[in-house]
Structure 1
């Protein structure tokens, strides 16, 4: 628990509901802030600290010690607060659905991360997956290209374990996976991966990945373009249960 936040609420007579009203977020959001790993968006941290009459650092300690790269922190905070996440991947499975062995193979196989840093990045990626295991997880919808299922990341054993884990994840009501079959020709997904996050107050944020670092986008025109790409890739994909059947079939080929 975030004892500093809990003490500040007690001292000021505020509740998570009243703090939410002052800050302008959903009460469920402020309730999640009581968990130590749930760090609010920077502007929400500043607003909450002002309402409670505390310095930001008194409630949320310096986050520079966290393991994720500095450029990734803004997106990770958006991801934590999202009520809906829509992800498209053409080359690998989304990080939130990766097994430990698969994630280690992805991170270690790029050549962009020093060997000594792979485990640090791996720990960060696996910790992020907790958002899908909370009592009130976001609705997570992923679209992946069929090639992702057939690329031998980490070898047959790793792929078999990964695809079985993916099928198991699809059994949860808040996780939906759709596969764009290989028979589909050119479509918007060929332009690269992206994620769209929707917050409790209906704000949209986007994330684009590249060879160097990710980019968080919020410009309305950029969001509109990503939403258009999402409609295209989702329209080309199989239904959720058709996709689960395909994933199950491909898993059997990794013998």
Structure 2
């Protein structure tokens, strides 16, 4: 069985590769720093796997300066994945392979968030340092590439009505985000439904729920809270979550009525004339 590299060894491997390539190119740390516009001490930190962690942009700049053909950027991607909790990596792998994705969320789900909406979420409460924010922003948006594939998964979103009114990033950000929902709702493989405030189906209120159906027909359920998520693969558990989701969907407004409600909220709350929606 292949041994999985630990985070520390990946970082050290990247540093050793930078040192080797720099030496082969006949560059000092200061000269390389001048090329990519960082101080020489930063190059020293990278090569010794100390100090602030590397970023994708920094690795891309080193690739260009050292002619590595993208090797350092590829190493960075592996390093970034190793820093994610196991449950996050596991769920994202399942989601990337899914043929059908069902989502219930009380905020706009990550797969359909706009860049401005994501940024506002991450900046809220200053949860991340500035460097981390840009990396996490790129990672979140990168997950949406599965919807642009030639044969994308079927995506069904049940969105709690509160998500339309919970203002993230200001009126302009919400205007753009709700317009994105309407645009995606026109896609043949995407359905968006809103669970109205007057619904009495409350089983999933307080958490987000995802169901993914894999190419072999297997289903997996995933619930997420503030700091952690849980993956359920046992048939009995998945069946229970499937029933909960089906009840949410049955109590939600149909797609056409949901789109009309989204338009109404945009017009009344976020100052968007109906003719400018999509």
State the Cα deviation string for residues 30-60 of structure 1 (Å, max 9, x = none). Answer: xxxxxxxxxxxxxxxxxxxxxxxxxxxxxx9
Cα distance in 2 for partners of 1:190, 1:144 equals 11
Which of 114, 117, 122 does residue 132 from structure 2 map onto?
117
Whether 2:89 is the aligned partner of 1:73: answer yes
Mark the runs of 5 or more structure 2 residues left unpaired by the alignment. 1-73, 272-278
CA deviation after TM superposition for structure 1 residue 116, in Å: 3.2
Cα distance in 2 for partners of 1:61, 1:70 equals 18
Aligned to 2:5: none
Maintained 8 Å contact 2:201/2:251: no
CA deviation after TM superposition for structure 1 residue 213, in Å: 2.2
Whether 2:133 is the aligned partner of 1:156: answer no
Mark the runs of 5 or more structure 1 residues left unpaired by the alignment. 1-59
Which of 103, 106, 110 does residue 118 from structure 2 map onto?
103
The count of residues paired between Structure 1 and Structure 2 equals: 195
Choose 150-159 or 243-252, whichever is displaced more. Answer: 243-252
CA deviation after TM superposition for structure 1 residue 172, in Å: 0.5
Cα distance in 2 for partners of 1:250, 1:207 equals 29
Maintained 8 Å contact 1:187/1:232: no
1:122-133 counterparts in 2 under 5 A? 122-133=137-148
Instruction: State the secondary structure of the residue aligned to 2:151.
Output: coil
Cα distance in 1 for partners of 2:149, 2:160 equals 28
Instruction: State the secondary structure of the residue aligned to 1:188.
Output: coil
Please give the TM-score of this superposition, normalised by the length of structure 2: 0.66
CA deviation after TM superposition for structure 1 residue 62, in Å: 9.3
Instruction: State the secondary structure of the residue aligned to 2:267.
Output: helix
Maintained 8 Å contact 1:145/1:181: yes
**Structure 1 runs (4+) greater than 4 angstroms displaced:** 60-63
Identify which of structures 1 and 2 has the higher relative contact order when contacts are C-alpha pairs closer than 8 Å and 6+ apart: 1
CA deviation after TM superposition for structure 1 residue 63, in Å: 6.0
Maintained 8 Å contact 1:82/1:198: yes
Cα distance in 1 for partners of 2:76, 2:170 equals 40
Aligned to 2:209: 194
1:35-74 counterparts in 2 under 5 A? 64-66=78-80, 69-71=84-86, 72-74=88-90
Cα distance in 2 for partners of 1:65, 1:174 equals 33
